[in-house]
Amino acid sequence: MPVDVKAATDRLMRFLAVEGVTGKEAAIGRELSAALREVGVPADTIRLDDANTRIPVPTETGNLIVDLPGRGAMHNQPRIMFMTHMDTVPLCAGAKPKISGRRIVNEAKTALGGDNRCGCGVLVTLAAELAKQNLDHPPITLLFCVREESGLYGARHVRTAELGSPVMAFNFDGGAASNVTIGAVGADRWQVEIFGRASHAGVAPERGISSTMILALALADLKAGGWFGKVVKGKGQEKRQGTSNVGPVTGGEGRPAGDATNVVTDYVHVRGESRSHDARFFKEITRAYKTAFEKAARRVKNSDGKTGKVRFKAETDYYPFRMKESLPVVKRAVAAVSGIGAAPAIRAANGGLDANWMVRHGVPTVTFGAGQNEPHTTDEWINLDEYDKACALAVQLATMR
């Protein structure tokens, strides 16, 4: 079915203009609700859940959930769901979107927010076209998640009973609309507190225990052992792959991380992550980090023979998944991409998606792109041709028998 691409682009520009970085989605939630009402979605079918009360970091609002009753010959078919996330990374604050040919670019020195205002535009356009064209479709749930960018929290803490028991879901988050993403990595997030001992670095450095030196030795050991960045272990069928990264290094918990150059640093707080499509392997990467920090702490001693100490904590942020291509959700996805004249490309993602948690909740979920390019950077731009395809794809998915 044809889609009103001008109206779809206008919606996208409207949503891009609303700031809504991760954890601060109240304004974009209101804008999405208003846009849905404007295209004919009854106000009493639009609601916010209370997932924000269960998310362990401050979050302004819950997930936005919309119930669209089935229509026509398909009204009593099993419910399906379309989902996206409505937050952006903090780098998007202050974005100024501008249309340039078949692209949307940014006039500000920030990220643009196509990740994931594109998905928001697709879902609202779907609701608009179903109503405008009076198309037959099964019962549909629209889910706009919060805090995807800071830990997939909205999808993790949604109550599936509030979604109307969909039998399958389609997530819009990425670049090419023809990408049929049926799997994604899992990840640990870890943190380590490094406890040293303060001393005057100019008068008696030998009495101190440097937390920064413990950090440096641990990272050097991890780099030498092949555990930092892209991680590949084994060969042939035994080869395991993943990634790791060290994030913010701070004083943490109100304590300085060597504020003064004349004081031996006595405390450092470090955060990082381990990822892999193999759940056992990202745990192995995490263990390598724990071992390296503990070993480094034992190596750094002061003149009295005392050593540093570390406190290492890790938790699984999200679990890897890979769905079988024979599943109905994958077959529907492939058929829909072909139905809009594109070539489906089945793939797995090397990043986490809200689909990780939706699959964990028992709802098989395929993810498609919606025109994003260079997300999370100041070079971000939106491909309007791919965005238009994603809008058409959503309508195809909702109406195909």
The pLDDT of residue 324 is 97
Q: How many helices (H) and strands (E) does the chain have?
A: 9, 18
Cα 379 from Cα 292, distance rounded (Å): 36
Are residues 272 and 278 in contact, defined by beta-carbon separation less than 8 angstroms? no
pLDDT band at residue 237 under the 50/70/90 scheme: confident
pLDDT range class, residue 282, cuts 50, 70, 90 = very high
Catalogue all structural domains in the chain, each as residue range(s) with its CATH number.
5-185+320-399 (3.40.630.10), 186-318 (3.30.70.360)
* Prediction pTM value: 0.90
Looking at residue 62, its pLDDT comes to 98
Q: Which helix (H) or strand (E) is 361 found in, with range? A: none
Q: How far is CA 340 from the centre of its chain?
A: 27
> Mean pLDDT, to the nearest integer, of 115-143?
98
Distance between CA atoms of residues 120 and 387, nearest Å = 11
Please tell me the predicted confidence (pLDDT) of residue 280. Answer: 95
Q: In this structure, are residues 114 and 97 in contact, taking their beta carbons and an 8 Å threshold?
A: no
Cα–Cα nearest to 29, from 47, 51, 45: 47
Q: Which among 345, 319, 31, 41 has a CA at the least distance from the CA of 155? A: 319
CB contact at 8 A, 68 and 159: no
pLDDT at 216 over 70: yes
> Residue 261 — pLDDT band, cuts 50, 70, 90?
confident
State pLDDT tens for residues 53-78. Answer: 999 999 999 999 999 999 999 999 99
pLDDT band at 257 (very low <50, low <70, confident <90, very high): low
pLDDT for 353: 96
**Res. 207: pLDDT tops 80:** yes
CB distance 348 to 277 below 8 Å = yes
Using the predicted structure, report yes or no on whether residue 277 has a pLDDT greater than 80. Answer: yes
Question: β-pairing, 179-184 with 321-322?
Answer: antiparallel
pLDDT grade for 88, boundaries at 50, 70 and 90: very high
158 vs 397: CA distance, rounded Å: 23
Residues sharing a CB contact under 8 Å with residue 190, sequence separation 6 or more, in sequence order: 271, 272, 273, 274, 286, 289, 290, 312, 313, 314, 315
- Per the document, the length of the chain is 401
